[in-house]
């Protein structure tokens, strides 16, 4: 074999592996975890807000008193006890028996990420197209890339996905002879943009997808983390047919347990279970028991309120710091829940090119390019507020603002610095339509 690659297995990989790259976020982990760096990059929940002594005792009892079952193999769909508890959790958002939610149609997964991968395995062939908000969750982009599908981004604004842009994208792709399988959407407290699809648009988006014969994959990790009143009812609470509802306990309990779920149309459930068994055989019995016991014995609804209060305080600290310290021309979203703010830089600044200088100044964020399949978003960054305390958030913004001011000053003297790729504002391009990667 000839060439300059350091990987001796390059010519042996399956075709679907070609083009796989590390996400922008994973590449930042080593740097962002250093204690001297203020990390506004990750999406980690504030686990210290949990009653860790009580949780630790609960986990100890599960091993000592119930280890013969919790440490044993289980069934591929997940335990009935947990699936019943999941239905109780979904009912808080309006997804209940009246709209067809049943433990029989819940499949327990290893976090929300496996839920995404299972849907992709069932429905995506190489060359298929997925419609997704622009920007969208970086982990979903990795799943679709691994499935050899292409992503067409649909723009957003302050009210979320733009229905007219969705219609244009569907029509353009149909004219091009492209096969669109589903719409992937995070309608509530979206990651990374922080915006929420408005009540009126939710019905319109569902109507558009129904007319076009598109499935809807609704990803809802943050819906119970709102700061002001109730979030709009999920899409799955409005339509049962053709809507897959994905969620996780990673943001509301413990990401380390890796427990998520899919509520699927009844006809698809068995195929999801078969696909999951082929991947993992069965989800962790211990992790499932931990979540079930937490939901059965601890005041988890009160814990949700604590998380909301903590995150509201930290969001406010971030927004105040941005208002006080950011250079003129910087804009950002104002999330009503979730964990993230999406910022747009002054014209001419490139978030990805600026990243090494930010790390040198001991602050980290995620460049916007990581949230687009086509590499756009150079003028954006995602900022997380869930993990650092308020004073640390302000210090991080102070450092970031200093880097940006230096970039602006250097640009005045020397002209453009770094990359000059296409930019996207909050949710997409100025001209709505499909943007295939």
Tens-place pLDDT, residues 268-290? 999 999 999 999 999 999 999 99
Q: Which residues pair with 109 in a beta bridge?
A: 260
Q: Are residues 153 and 219 in the same domain?
A: yes
In a domain, 432, yes or no: no
Shared domain for 208 and 337, answered yes or no, is: no
| Domain boundary, last residue among 274, 297, 320 | 297
Give pTM, 2 decimals: 0.91
Is the domain of 131 the same as that of 252?
yes
Distances (CA, A) of 144 to 24, 245, 373: 16, 17, 10
Task: Round to whole Å and give the CA distance between 281 and 302.
Answer: 34
Residues 77 and 226 placed together within one structural domain of the fold = yes
Q: How confident is the model at residue 71 (pLDDT cuts 50, 70, 90)?
A: very high
Calculate the dihedral angle through the C-alpha atoms of 19, 23, 26, 28, rounding to the nearest 10 degrees. Answer: 120
**DSSP string over 284-342:** -HHHHHHHHHHHHHS-HHHHHHHHHHHHHHHHHHHHHHHHHHSPTT-EE---SBSSEEE
Binned at pLDDT 50, 70 and 90, residue 420 comes out as very low
* CATH number for the domain that contains residue 346: 3.90.1150.10
Residue 340's pLDDT is what? 98
What backbone phi and psi angles, to 5 degrees, belong to 295?
-70, -30
**Domain for residue 426, yes or no?**
no
Please enumerate in sequence order all residues whose Cβ is within 8 A of that of 245, keeping only pairs 6 or more positions apart, or say none: 90, 95, 218, 220, 234, 235, 236, 262, 263
Q: Which domain holds residue 263?
A: 68-297
The pLDDT of 357-363, averaged and rounded, is: 95
> pLDDT tens-digit profile of 121-144?
999 999 999 999 999 999 999 999
332 and 408 co-located in one domain:
yes
Specify the number of domains making up the chain: 2
CA quadruple 112, 118, 123, 127: dihedral, nearest 10: 80
């Amino acid at each position: 074999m000839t060439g300059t690659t350091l990987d001796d297995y390059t010519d042996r990989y399956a075709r679907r592996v070609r083009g796989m790259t590390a996400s922008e976020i994973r590449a930042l982990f080593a740097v962002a975890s250093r204690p001297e760096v203020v990390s506004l990059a990750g999406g980690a929940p504030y686990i210290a807000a949990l009653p860790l002594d009580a949780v630790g005792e609960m986990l100890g009892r599960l091993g000592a008193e119930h280890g013969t079952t919790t440490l044993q193999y289980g069934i591929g769909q997940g335990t009935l006890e947990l699936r019943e508890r999941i239905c109780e959790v979904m009912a808080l958002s309006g997804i209940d028996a009246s709209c067809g939610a049943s433990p029989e149609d819940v499949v327990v997964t290893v976090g929300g990420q496996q839920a995404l991968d299972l849907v992709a395995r069932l429905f995506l062939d190489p060359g298929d197209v997925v419609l997704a908000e622009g920007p969208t969750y970086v982990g979903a982009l990795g799943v679709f890339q691994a499935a050899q599908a292409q992503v067409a981004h649909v723009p957003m604004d302050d009210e979320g996905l733009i229905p007219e842009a969705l219609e244009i994208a569907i029509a353009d792709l149909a004219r091009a002879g492209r096969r669109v399988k589903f719409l992937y959407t995070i309608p509530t407290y979206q990651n990374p943009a922080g915006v929420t699809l408005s009540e009126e648009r939710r019905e319109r988006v569902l109507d558009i997808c129904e007319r076009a014969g598109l499935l809807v994959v609704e990803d809802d990790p943050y819906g119970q983390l709102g700061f002001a009143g109730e979030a709009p009812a999920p899409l799955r609470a409005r339509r049962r047919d053709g809507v897959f509802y994905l969620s996780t306990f990673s943001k509301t309990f413990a990401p380390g347990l890796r427990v998520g779920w899919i509520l699927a149309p009844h006809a698809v459930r068995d195929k999801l279970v078969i696909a999951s068994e082929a991947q993992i055989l069965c989800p962790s019995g211990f992790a499932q028991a931990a979540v079930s016991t937490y939901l059965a014995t601890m005041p988890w609804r009160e814990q949700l309120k604590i998380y909301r209060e903590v995150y509201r305080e930290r969001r406010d600290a971030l927004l105040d710091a941005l208002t006080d310290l950011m250079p003129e021309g910087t804009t950002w979203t104002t999330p009503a829940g979730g964990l993230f703010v999406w910022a747009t830089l002054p014209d001419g600044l490139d978030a990805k090119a600026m990243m090494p200088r930010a790390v040198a100044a001991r602050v980290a964020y995620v460049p916007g390019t990581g949230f687009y399949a086509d590499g756009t978003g150079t003028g954006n960054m995602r900022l997380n507020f869930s993990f650092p305390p308020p004073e640390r958030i302000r210090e991080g913004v102070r450092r970031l603002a200093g880097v940006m001011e230096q970039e602006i000053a250097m640009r005045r003297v020397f002209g453009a610095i770094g990359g000059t790729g296409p930019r996207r504002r909050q949710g997409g391009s100025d001209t709505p339509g499909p943007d295939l990667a």
